[in-house]
Amino acid sequence: MTQPRFLTALVLLVVAACGQPGAAGEPPVQSGADSGRRETAVFAGGCFWSVERNFEAMPGVVSAVSGFAGGRTANPTYEQVVAGGTGHLEAVQVTFDPARISYRQLVDRFWRTIDPTDARGQFCDRGASYGTAVFATAAQRPAAEASRRAAVAEIGADRFVTPVRDAARFWPAEAYHQDFARRNPARYGGYSRFCGREARLRAVWG
């Protein structure tokens, strides 16, 4: 590819990063018996498109909603959060069936989908709103902390920066952000490759 065309493609991939709307598609299919019980968990792992996609693929997860948590502004917009000053992180609220998957299993999975050594963002998404955290209720905190200790033992305490934080109000993001990876597989695939997610995760976790 010629240099001008390469630069154009690169710009398009950057523009496709966590922020643009796309077309509708079919919902993911879950397998196994549903107990009807529901619990929620909130995770901030950089771009919420990727966090949502990772959790939706797990048996026992009923839904994953992209949004914001941990800040001061009520009902924030995407533009407000990425501009800075609201204190919010991009986050995902996971609704799950505790008879099919435990909260601890969700936290264990979360660590391996992020780079917990990066305090300035995740992969190609940089800035305070792309920080990482587990938002845990009082009941969830023991499991979250135990999971974090196990992950720290692999990475090293001096490198591991992702905290377990107190549960905070979760605000859903705009409709065009929801299920972005599923509804826009080609655009999400380009974004993910451009960001170097897989290579970085291999470097961190092996």
Q: Which residue ranges make up each domain of the chain?
A: 33-183
In angstroms, rounded to a whole number, what is the distance separating the alpha carbons of residues 3 and 124? 22
Assess whether pLDDT exceeds 70 at residue 109. Answer: yes
pLDDT band at 17 (very low <50, low <70, confident <90, very high): low
Domain 33-183: state its class.
Answer: alpha beta
Q: Are 25 and 172 in contact (CB under 8 A)?
A: no
In angstroms, rounded to a whole number, what is the distance separating the alpha carbons of residues 94 and 92? 6
pLDDT average, residue stretch 19-41: 64
Q: Which residues lie closer than 8 Å to 19 by C-beta, 6 or more apart?
A: 78, 82
Write the pLDDT tens digit of every residue in 81-107: 999 999 999 999 999 999 999 999 999
At 90 the pLDDT is 98
pLDDT average, residue stretch 3-28: 41
Local structure of 25: helix, strand or coil: coil
* Annotation says 47 is catalytic: yes
Q: Which residues lie closer than 8 Å to 138 by C-beta, 6 or more apart?
A: 167
At 128 the pLDDT is 95
At 33 the pLDDT is 87
pTM of the model: 0.85
pLDDT average, residue stretch 116-120: 96
In angstroms, rounded to a whole number, what is the distance separating the alpha carbons of residues 181 and 89? 19
At 14 the pLDDT is 40
At 135 the pLDDT is 98
Q: Cα–Cα distances in Å, from 51 out to 55, 85, 113, 124, 193?
A: 6, 23, 8, 14, 15
Q: Which residue of the set 18, 47, 124, 195 is catalytic?
A: 47
